[in-house]
Structure 1
Amino acid sequence: MQGYLETTKDVYKQAALTPDVGLCCTTSPIWQLPGLKMPKKMLAMNYGCGTTVHPRDLVNNPTVLYVGVGGGMELLQFSYFSRKPQGVIGVDVVDEMLTASAKNFVEAEKLNPWFEKDFVDLRKGDALNLPIEHNTIDVAAQNCLFNIFKTEELQKALAEMYRVLKPHGRLVMSDPICDQEMPENLRADERLRALCLSGSIPMKEYIKMLTDTGFGTVEIRAKRPYRMLAPGQYDTENLIYIESLEVCAIKDPMPKDGPCVFTGKAAIYYGTDELFDDGKGHTLLQNQPLAICDKTAGALASLGRKDIHITESTWFYDGGGCC
């Protein structure tokens, strides 16, 4: 195994043995769900940069895969929506993390009358070779893990997630991104990569890797400030700004004209007619905003109409779109 992956295993082995609340800086609030109580140690082991738990993904008692179990917090949250034996599968390559997570579920069972620890199936496994059968998962997720991988490993990990998802299944991810050029000396720093900092890639590259894998729909659900790498604190001459990104990639068929990527744009028709129909399946009702993918935004803009307003990307898309 490559050196940086061994370093990552060592970092998270120590984090399993001794919870480190400063290891990651989660930018999303922890879901407060009725009747859900979190063990304190599980909260202390919340090693992520955002959240992958979105109730609209978790309807109809789905089978959920979570890669990189941490202390089990998101596995417990997923179980809240999938209350069946082995409804949530957690995969991790670090034995100590699997052991710590299993202990946390024993405590979670005491705190939550609805929860049974056999709702969660913990498996030893590698993100690059998942111990999961083809087309069996409704929702797959990872939080601040894929950012660690270099390009070739990231491509393999994404391909594995795609393989195990059912048609129209969802891959929900949270990772740091950086649109500035990351200095090569920082990228080569194995510990900084393991800490989900120097492996950050530009958002456009991140999205392209998802669509190149085959995902026909991509939703940008959140983009938030995350960390600063400052000269004097890190080996860099420039101040580097890192953000956290929450994304859902859907295993939809790839459209002939390319993927649908939703970044929070909307179109508003304000002409004199009751509606505008572009003849391509998009109907805009008068003065009723419609969430649109970037591809549709470009097509509408190319019409040159003065009675259609297209908003800028908000980077907070929550469904209801055109495609």
Structure 2
Amino acid sequence: MNNYLDTTVDVYKQAALKPDVGLCCTTTPIWQLPELQIPKIMQEMNYGCGSTVHPRDLVNSPKVLYVGVGGGMEVLQFAYFSRQKGGVIGVDLVEEMLTACDKNLLQAEKENAWFQKEFVELRRGTALDLPVEESSIDVAAQNCLFNIFTKEDLKLALAEMYRVLKPFGRLVLSDPITENRMPDSLRNDSRLRALCLSGSLSMKEYLQMITDAGFGTVEVRAKRPYRILAPSQFDTEEMILLDSIEVCAIKDPMPADGPCIFTGKTAIYFGEEEYFDDQKGHVLMNNQPLAVCDKTANAFHILGRKDIYVSESTYFYDGGGCC
């Protein structure tokens, strides 16, 4: 096992044995859903930087895979939408974390009349070699785990997620990213990497690795400030800002002209006609906003029309639009 993975296992073994509330800091409020009570211990062991639970992904009792179970909070939330035996598979490499999660699920069963522990199946395994059958999962998710991996291992982890997803299945991710230069001294620090602080890629690199894995559509659903690596505290000459990003990647066919990546851009046509049709499948009704992927937004820019407004990225996309 790589040195940084050894360190990661040790960090999360200790976090399983003794909850570490400050280990991560989620930037997304915990879902408030009818009759869902999340045990306090699960909240204390919420070792993520955002949320991967989005109700619009979770229709028709999907088969869900969650990698890196932590205290079980998101596993429980996924089970809320997939109330069937083994509806949620939780995978973790750290035996102590699986034990803690199992114990916490028993507590959740006591606090939630609707929840049965059999809704969740816990398996020991690694994201680099998932103990899951090919094309068997509707929704796969990970929260602040892939950020720990080196680029080589991240490529393997994404390939594994792609393998186990059904056609048009969804991979939902939450990870820190940074647009600042990460010094090698920090990037190569195995403990800082395990703490999700120094493995961050730029957004462009992060999204490129996802599309290189074969995902034809990628949605950037949220981006928020997350952590600061300051020169007074870390081995860096300049302040490094980490953002928390939430992304959904869909296993649909790769378009001939490249992936559709939605970063929250909108196009509005305000010309003299009733609508504008680019003859490529995109119709803009007069003065009606349309969410567009970055590829389409760029094509509209190239047209140079004065009657089409294209917004900058908001890094918030919640469905609909051009593709």
Q: Deviations over 1:211-239 (max 9, x none)?
A: 10000000000000000001121111111
- Report how far residue 274 of structure 1 moved: 1.1
1:147-186 aligned within 5 A: 147-186=147-186
Determine the C-alpha separation between the residues in 1 that align with 2:88 and 2:43: 19
Q: What's the counterpart of residue 120 of structure 1?
A: 120
User: Could you say which residue in structure 2 is the equivalent of 1:104?
Assistant: 104
Q: After the TM superposition, which parts of structure 1 deviate over 3 Å for at least 4 consecutive aligned residues?
A: none
The Cα shift of 1:16 comes to 0.3
| Partner residue, 1:303 | 303
Q: Secondary structure at the match of 1:302?
A: helix
Give, in angstroms, the shift of residue 278 of structure 1.
0.7
Which residue identity is paired with 2:264? G
Q: CA shift at 1:198, angstroms?
A: 0.3
Describe the SS at the equivalent of 1:152.
Answer: helix
The equivalent residue for 1:272 is 272
Cα distance in 1, alignment partners of residues 92 and 144 from structure 2: 13
Partner of 1:129: 129
Aligned residues: 323
Letter matched to residue 176 of structure 1:
P
1:182 is paired with a residue of what secondary structure?
coil
Q: CA deviation at 1:43?
A: 0.6
Q: Following TM superposition, by how much is the alpha carbon of 1:153 offset from its aligned partner in structure 2, in angstroms? A: 0.4
Matched residue SS, 1:105: helix
- Stretches of structure 1 that go unaligned for 5 or more consecutive residues are none
1:12-27 alignment, distance < 5 Å: 12-27=12-27
Corresponding residue number in structure 1 for 2:192: 192
Spell out, residue by residue over 1:40-72, the C-alpha distance to the aligned partner (whole angstroms, 9 max, x if none). Answer: 111100000000000000001100000000000
SS at match of 1:206: helix
Write out aligned runs for 1:71-86 (5 A): 71-86=71-86
SS in 2 for 1:185: helix
In structure 2, the partner of 1:87 is 87
Asked if 1:221 is matched to 2:221, the reply is: yes
Q: Distance in 2 between matches of 1:72 and 1:142?
A: 12
Partner Cα distance (2:280, 2:10) in 1: 53
Higher mean C-alpha deviation, range 194-203 or range 300-309: 300-309
Task: Tell me the distance in 2 between the aligned counterparts of 1:294 and 1:282.
Answer: 13
Q: Distance in 1 between matches of 2:162 and 2:242?
A: 27
Deviations 1:73-101, CA, capped at 9 Å, x for gaps: 00000000000000000000000000000
Structure 1 length normalisation: TM-score? 0.99
Q: Secondary structure at the match of 1:176?
A: strand
Q: Give 1:269 deviation, angstroms.
A: 0.5
> By how many angstroms is 1:170 displaced?
0.3
Separation (CA, whole Å) in 2 of partners of 1:214 and 1:131 = 21
Partners of 2:116 and 2:240 in 1: how far apart?
Answer: 44
Q: 1:111: how far off?
A: 0.5
> For 2:303, what is the secondary structure of its paired residue?
coil
State the 1:195 CA deviation: 0.3
Separation in structure 2 between the aligned mates of residue 82 and residue 275 of structure 1, nearest angstrom = 42
Q: Which runs of 5+ in 2 are unaligned?
A: none
| 1:153 partner SS | helix
Give the structure 1 partner of residue 142 of structure 2.
142
Could you state the TM-score of these two structures normalised by the residue count of structure 2?
0.99
Query: 1: CA distance between counterparts of 2:202 and 2:312?
Result: 19
Q: State the match for 1:48 in structure 2.
A: 48
Report the Cα offset of residue 295 of structure 1.
0.3
**Cα deviation, residue 321, structure 1:** 1.7
Task: Name the aligned partner's letter for residue 203 of structure 1.
Answer: M
Task: Supply the distance in 2 between the matched residues of 1:171 and 1:239 (Cα, whole angstroms).
Answer: 32
Q: Could you tell me which residue of structure 2 aligns to residue 251 of structure 1?
A: 251
Q: Secondary structure of 2:101's partner?
A: helix
Residue 115 of structure 1: how far off its partner (Å): 0.3
